[in-house]
């Protein structure tokens, strides 16, 4: 509904601005005022840009086919580039006329028609400024508020033209080409900016901020150990993205694929207008693996503690960080099981706890189905053991690493 409201504002704005542009253009032509003609072009460029974008968007929404498998999203940039170029060229033309008139100032004709049109334009432009600022605040759209600010600038340039026309009426012919020259310079700069934007789009540009955001989202997905070769590109209104993710080489293919799907979903959720994401999976060997082992003991040497018979009701978990390159224990610590007294949802609570502690796998004697599934869904590896002490279990685990 908000978007509908925003759309309505833009339609009203386009119609009124087009009206203003046509009025200024006609009177600019019959009065011979370069200032008015330049301002007409300015108004025209204000309205043609959005119109080109609108029709470009329509075309961009066309379904891809075998001839254009990536769709028609570039159409927007192409349409916009054509319009930007016309604006730029016309701006230069009026700048030339202004310079000629500056060298040889001549009066303009039909002053009152010109003044009338400028006053009408002033009222309309100020109304557009007020309307866009109001709706922009209502729907919380920065773009709309920015549009409003633009209308305010248009309002001031229109005042300058009005002064130029009045000046000409009182015999100050020189004011008019000066105002015309300044406005045509503004139009030229606007045109150049638009051309730059369009070319960026056509050249597969992507701003670093978006790329950084995509990378961070990717890294936040559980099971993603790293990410590289991120390539994002804007194509018209859409964003395409390729990324390589690094996942543990020991994960089953199904799990690795699921992680890649989660990456896609999470990026789509958080980045606007993303249309296509290709995820390539690279297997990596993790250097450090954190393993949790359940125990009921707390006093003495951790390595001599017995392994608790049942995983989820154990009093404590021993966390050990193993360096898989050197195949040694990096560090070892013990933490209380936060779920040991729970009657329900123990598996979920423990899984959250283990995830927060960065655990990759657990070594167990016996485990309930709920906990087993919760751990498995989060890619925490479950290793069964017959050993009795922490020391034996870790030694067994390291010997498995060696044989890998």
Instruction: Enumerate the β-bridge partners of residue 323.
Output: 288, 328
Residues that bind Zn ion (CB under 5 A): 46, 154, 244, 282
Nearer to Zn ion, 244 or 268 (CB): 244
| Shortest reach from residue 107's CB to Zn ion, in Å | 27
Nearer to Zn ion, 262 or 282 (CB): 282
Nearer to Zn ion, 263 or 291 (CB): 263
| Shortest reach from residue 173's CB to Zn ion, in Å | 26
The DSSP line for 283-299 is EE--SEEEEEEEES--S
| Shortest reach from residue 317's CB to Zn ion, in Å | 34
| Shortest reach from residue 278's CB to Zn ion, in Å | 12
Query: Are 378 and 361 contacting, i.e. CB atoms less than 8 angstroms apart?
Result: no
Nearer to Zn ion, 62 or 280 (CB): 280
Nearer to Zn ion, 183 or 291 (CB): 183
Number of residues that make up the chain: 404
| Shortest reach from residue 130's CB to Zn ion, in Å | 16
**DSSP-derived 3-state class of residue 381:** strand
Phi, psi torsion values for 336, nearest 5 degrees: -70, 145
Nearer to Zn ion, 10 or 332 (CB): 10
In terms of C-beta density within 10 A (0-12 exposed, 13-18 middle, 19 or more buried), how is residue 196 classed? Answer: exposed
Rounded to whole angstroms, what are the CA distances from 20 to 45, 97, 140, 394?
Answer: 12, 22, 28, 80
Query: Are 267 and 232 contacting, i.e. CB atoms less than 8 angstroms apart?
Result: no
Pairing mode, if any, of strands 316-323 and 238-248? unpaired
Nearer to Zn ion, 124 or 308 (CB): 124
Nearer to Zn ion, 244 or 315 (CB): 244
Nearer to Zn ion, 147 or 297 (CB): 147
| Shortest reach from residue 69's CB to Zn ion, in Å | 24
| Shortest reach from residue 190's CB to Zn ion, in Å | 7
| Shortest reach from residue 186's CB to Zn ion, in Å | 8
Quote the crossing angle between the two packed helices 142-169 and 34-60, to the nearest 10°: 160
Rounded to whole angstroms, what are the CA distances from 136 to 34, 50, 206, 305, 372?
Answer: 34, 17, 27, 65, 51
Give the DSSP H/E element, type plus range, for residue 396: helix 390-403
- Using Cβ positions, the residue closest to Zn ion within the complex turns out to be 244
Phi, psi torsion values for 65, nearest 5 degrees: -140, -175
Our measurement of the distance from residue 84's CA atom to the centroid of its chain's CA atoms, rounded to an integer in Å, reads: 24
Nearer to Zn ion, 184 or 312 (CB): 184
| Shortest reach from residue 48's CB to Zn ion, in Å | 11
For residue 232, what is the DSSP state?
E
Quote the crossing angle between the two packed helices 175-202 and 74-103, to the nearest 10°: 160
CA distance 136 to 139: 5
| Shortest reach from residue 151's CB to Zn ion, in Å | 7
């Amino acid at each position: 509904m908000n978007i509908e409201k925003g759309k309505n504002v833009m339609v009203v704005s386009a119609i009124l601005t087009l009206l203003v542009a046509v009025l200024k253009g006609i009177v600019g032509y019959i009065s011979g005022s370069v200032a008015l003609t330049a301002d007409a072009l300015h108004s025209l460029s204000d309205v043609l840009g959005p119109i080109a974008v609108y029709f470009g968007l329509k075309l961009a929404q066309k379904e891809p086919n075998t001839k254009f498998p990536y769709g028609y999203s570039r159409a927007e940039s192409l349409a916009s580039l054509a319009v930007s170029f016309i604006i730029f060229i016309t701006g230069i033309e009026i700048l030339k006329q202004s310079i000629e008139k500056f060298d040889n100032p001549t009066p303009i004709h039909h002053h009152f028609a010109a003044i009338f049109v400028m006053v009408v334009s002033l009222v309309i432009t100020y109304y557009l400024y007020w309307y866009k600022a109001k709706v922009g605040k209502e729907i919380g759209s920065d773009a709309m508020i920015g549009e409003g600010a633009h209308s305010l600038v248009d309002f001031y340039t229109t005042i300058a033209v009005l002064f130029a026309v009045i000046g000409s009426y009182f015999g100050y012919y020189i004011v008019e080409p000066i105002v015309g020259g300044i406005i045509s310079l503004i139009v030229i700069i606007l045109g150049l900016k638009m051309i730059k934007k369009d070319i960026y789009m056509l050249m597969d540009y992507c701003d670093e901020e978006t790329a950084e955001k995509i990378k961070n989202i990717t890294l936040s997905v559980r099971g993603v150990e790293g990410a590289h070769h991120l390539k994002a590109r804007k194509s018209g209104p859409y964003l395409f993205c390729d990324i390589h993710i690094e996942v543990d080489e020991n994960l089953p293919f199904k799990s690795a694929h699921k992680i890649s799907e989660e990456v896609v979903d999470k990026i789509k959720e958080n980045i606007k207008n993303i249309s296509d994401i290709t995820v390539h999976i690279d297997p990596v060997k993790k250097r450090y693996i954190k393993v949790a082992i359940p125990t009921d003991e707390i006093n003495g040497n951790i390595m001599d503690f017995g392994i608790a018979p049942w995983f989820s009701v154990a009093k404590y978990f021993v966390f050990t960080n193993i360096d898989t390159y050197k195949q040694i224990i990096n560090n070892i610590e013990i933490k209380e099981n936060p779920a040991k007294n729970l009657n329900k949802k123990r598996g979920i609570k423990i899984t959250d706890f283990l995830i927060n502690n960065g655990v990759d796998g657990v070594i167990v004697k016996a485990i309930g189905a709920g906990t087993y599934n919760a751990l498995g869904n989060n890619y925490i590896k479950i290793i069964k053991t017959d050993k009795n002490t922490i020391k034996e279990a870790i030694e067994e685990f390291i010997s498995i690493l060696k044989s890998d």
